[in-house]
Amino acid sequence: MLVLEYKAVVSKNQERSINEAIRTVQFIRNKAIRFWMDSPKDAKVNRIALNNYSTAVRKEFKFVEELNSMACQASTERAWYAIDRFYANCKCNKPGKKGFPKFQKDNRSVEYKTSGWALHPTKRRITFTDKKGIGEIKLLGKWDIHTYPVKSIKRVRIVKRADGYYVQFSIDVDTHKESRSADGEVGLDVGLEFFYSDSNGHHEENPKFLRKAEKEIKHAQRQIYKKEKGKNQRRKARQRYARKHLRVSRQRNEHAKKLARNVCKANALVAYEDLNVKGMVKNHCLAKSINDVAWTLFRRWLEYFAVKFSTTVVAVNPRMTSQKCSDCGAIVKKSLSTRTHKCDCGCELQRDTNAAINILNLARARDGQSRSNATGVATTTLLGATLVEQAAT
């Protein structure tokens, strides 16, 4: 599945229509969640039952009927994904909270399936044909969509972001694999001092995008509270603040994507740490720095490009990889402030490089679990902004 994204040029009236469609999607999803919660315990509420419930909601509310029928079904599918994830977490006895479905308050997208839209022959414009009044939208971006037939477009999505509206196309195509430039093997130790250190002794600098933009972000946040509530100036101040956070998010994504591609293209085996990031961010002294470095995002891109370049990626248990000597295997205790590994056997390495070598050795011994992304989902847009099916995979 390939996702192509284009910037949408919309008028004020179209903005209002899109926002109304987005609110309708949120209403349908929340109604589906309520329907599931209020159903008797012996009743089997599944994906088909929720799709049928969307038909009943359309008959009851006129503003829901104005939305395309398949878009209504896509809205109930969002509710089902949340319910199904909750059931799966309960079934596998996931520790902690199980993710009980919640009512949505900030939906920012509306999704159509194979109806409710018509692509212009030039493929530079798209018209939404339901009764919400969105009409024809001009598309800006690279025209890769010209190479795909219209029948291969399975879903179309309008996404609202801080800097405007975007249109995404989910295209049913096979991912084309590429050849690697080399067949090396590398272990990666991620950290806060460096973005990662590999087993070859290379240290990738930590860009610290949030830290660098923090002064501007805090200034923009203060400007919000200086404006009167309900006024247009306060709304504009909030948009400026949101755009600064959006820029940081895009910087992180592009940085992680570039590094992951380079690593997978140059190596036949990539080993990395299987970190519990959710548990690590509970340390309030390091939470901001851990979130800023975006280890989980980097790992997702590694797993994606592993499929593209036929690279084997292995996640290993990071326990004792920093304390163990990569040369003789002895345990050398050291605190976080100690950045050099020194062993009685004569081995002296930078702490993270020593850990990366241990990670690679564990992967070679296959002590880790292979985590290659077998789905082969492709994307040319932000990973966190894909369609529902892609997010589910």
**7, containing H or E segment:** strand 2-9
Tell me, yes or no, whether 37 and 159 share the same domain: yes
Tell me, yes or no, whether 53 and 86 share the same domain: yes
Tell me, yes or no, whether 158 and 191 share the same domain: no
Residue 159 maps to a domain:
yes
Nearest Cα neighbor of 371 from 304, 326, 292, 286 is 304
What pLDDT does residue 199 have? 87
Residue 97 maps to a domain:
yes
Residue 47 maps to a domain:
yes
Point out the domain boundary residue: 171, 195, 216. Answer: 171
Tell me, yes or no, whether 70 and 188 share the same domain: no
Tell me, yes or no, whether 23 and 66 share the same domain: yes
Residue found under tokens 């036949």? 268
- Say how many domains are in the chain: 2
Residue 90 maps to a domain:
yes
Count of CB atoms situated within 10 Å of the CB of 39: 13
Tell me, yes or no, whether 132 and 275 share the same domain: no
Query: How buried is 187 (Cβ within 10 angstroms: 0-12 exposed, 13-18 middle, 19+ buried)?
Result: buried
Residue 178 maps to a domain:
no
Tell me, yes or no, whether 56 and 157 share the same domain: yes
Region of 329 please: left (phi>0), alpha (psi -120 to 50) or beta. left
What pLDDT does residue 377 have? 39
Tell me, yes or no, whether 53 and 139 share the same domain: yes
Residue 230 maps to a domain:
no
Tell me, yes or no, whether 150 and 273 share the same domain: no
pLDDT digits (tens), the chain, 393 positions:
788 999 999 999 999 999 999 999 999 999 999 999 998 887 788 899 999 999 999 999 999 999 999 999 999 999 999 999 999 999 998 888 888 999 999 999 999 998 999 999 888 999 999 999 999 999 998 878 888 888 899 999 999 999 999 999 999 887 778 888 888 889 999 988 899 998 888 899 999 999 999 999 999 999 999 998 989 999 999 999 999 999 999 999 999 999 999 999 999 999 988 888 888 888 888 889 989 999 999 999 999 899 889 889 998 888 888 888 888 888 888 888 888 888 888 888 888 888 899 889 888 886 444 444 433 333 333 333 333 334 333
Beta strands in 82-229 (DSSP E): 109-112, 117-119, 125-128, 135-140, 153-161, 164-171, 184-190, 194-198, 203-205
Residue 210 maps to a domain:
no
Residue 158 maps to a domain:
yes
Tell me, yes or no, whether 129 and 104 share the same domain: yes
End-to-end CA distance of the chain: 11
Cα–Cα–Cα angle for 158, 161, 167, nearest 5°?
A: 25
Tell me, yes or no, whether 263 and 351 share the same domain: yes
What pLDDT does residue 344 have? 81
CATH number at residue 313: 3.30.420
Tell me, yes or no, whether 199 and 147 share the same domain: no
Whether 5 contacts 385, CB under 8 Å: yes
Q: Which domain holds residue 141?
A: 2-171
Report the sign of the C-alpha dihedral through residues 240, 243, 245, 247, in that order: negative
